[in-house]
Structure 1
Amino acid sequence: MSLQLLTDFPLLPHNTFGFDVRARHAMRIDSVDAAAALATDARIANLPQLVLGGGSNIVLTRDFDGVALIVGILGKRVIDETGDAWLVEAGAGENWHDFVAWTLARGMPGLENLALIPGTVGAAPIQNIGAYGLEMGERFERLQAVELATGARVEFDRADCAFGYRDSFFKRAGRGRFMITSVVFRLPKAWTPRADYADVARALEGASKRDAQAIFDAVVAVRRAKLPDWTVLGNAGSFFKNPVVSAQAFEALKAREPGVVSYPQADGQAKLAAGWLIDRCGWKGRGIGGAAVHDRQALVLVNRGGATGAQVLELANAIKRDVLARFDVELEMEPVAL
């Protein structure tokens, strides 16, 4: 199989921050066979490779001197149905939000809390995306991937993926080694609504019913009200993880900052609201060059126009220093910087 090798490829449409950078080469990957063929393609044998889906979780700080692999593998289908669940498969290049809407339209709830998260299906396991009381890993069954160095087709189950909070095997030991080609989700027939988050609960007040579609609509409304549209104002969604601290560290922090926003964890630790920490440090609405903290949601860094990835990282590091100095809490970025 011979794939078209594109030269001097613009990455502006392929990263949600809207950084105007380019790749030395690019290839569009629209099938598993195409992904497997990369390993034997002499034209790219000695080039660094960058797998890109929607580019919603990356900070590109410079032009990429290698080959960008643009994943466009499509397809959605129910592959099995048991007494208690539907098994649904989607190609890695499918738009995540559209896939969630597709499952609901076919009467298969379970992903509605993850509506309107930017990016592709293939990126979802890498980040273990989550929102409003649900993580993708809870609905995950397995995925198919291709090892880039060998072209081998590999299946990963939940244990293999080693999901953590906004984390997975693919962000750590597996980083850059695999291209995810499809993902299978297990959607339970015994559906239980998750509508306890305050913003979602408020959006549902007065609703005639609280079915999966109503929660989907509420999540969409909340996200649109609080978060900027990346097609209008470049961003990568939540930029920092909510830090988790020990019970002892939390009690010490609470004594100094009685209003600290936190969420108790099952193991006794406390998850802190990173946006609150950033806001209390006075960063909301402030920026460096074209990079800024969003004026309505301090957890989101935005490209106000003409920002570079280096400026976003400079801003992020300044925020991290201030939060550490005031709260003795270290923030960790969600997106990967390149």
Structure 2
Amino acid sequence: MAHTPAVPVDMTAAVLTGFGGPEALRLQRVPVPVPGPGEVLIRVAAAAINNTDVWTRQGAYGLPGRPDALAGWRGPIAFPRIQGGDIAGTVVRVGDDVVGEWVGRRVLVDPAIYDRPSDDANPVGLLGSEADGGFAEYVTARADQIHDASSSPLTDEQLACLPIAYGTAMGMLERGRLREGETTLVTGASGGVGLAAVQLAAARGARVVALTTPDKSDAILDAGAAAVVHRDGDPATTAAAIAEVAPDGLDAVIDVVGGPLLPAVLGRVRDGGRWVIAGAVGGARIELDLRRLYLHNISLVGSSMHTPAHFRRLVDDAVTGAIHPRVAHLFPLGAIHAAQEAFGRSDYVGKIVLTPP
């Protein structure tokens, strides 16, 4: 039996006290959580920052019929809340009814809270949003949310890059049925989800056309893109540039941008192609000629995060070393405000990762 390490009574955590600016996020001493039945306690080794963390703090998700209402991604948030859905660490305690020898194992945590116990379950909550997350020294998670990553060649900081960004990208690729040899366009390719999609699509043998800015092109090519198209303010110009590097059309589009680019580029998608969308930073409302969809049997697929089956495939890629997440910057947990400020500047490629004391 593994030795159970000593666990302190309290810990440092970044606690979200309500919706607002950076002042709503406070470093505090709080009790170390106790794992309940079916749960484990994890000593956090690294936790990455996502748009979800910032948008949840800002209450930027709105509500049905009330787009300007302050809300988390699934609605109300119970404050105080410890944020952070990207978690890698080591199991130090287990609760009752946990099967297996988990203490001492390095794990990657699936941050999704699912609607049912099924391989194709839908995420209806998230660690760091609907439950406390990993911007702390310790976090609890259900035993069925943790995955053994002890044999992965990735560092803890690299593992922490995976759950939300790479999980979301994996969900998009799986729902878009992307296959080896196909040509896919990845929008927003320098962002967390976009870069993950480039790496994951290239790893499965797809030809990736990436949409990004000129200053980040080399990093995107290094990540596995076959061609880069520079983002232009005019969607028609961007569509023409995509046509030059993909003259035979696109089998799939992995889109985290949305906005007017969708109707402008839809005509470049082959018959039977798929357009998968998981973001709307380019605009949430568009005008679309539906004939371009049904006359060409094109599927328009919404994708929010991943399923348990998608996440297991992601862990397999992490264990085999098929992907190599890029850590752009490391910050100690105590510098979380500086980390979120750096995150907001978007002048980097990769992920920003926090390490607890």
TM superposition score normalised by structure 2: 0.30
TM superposition score normalised by structure 1: 0.31
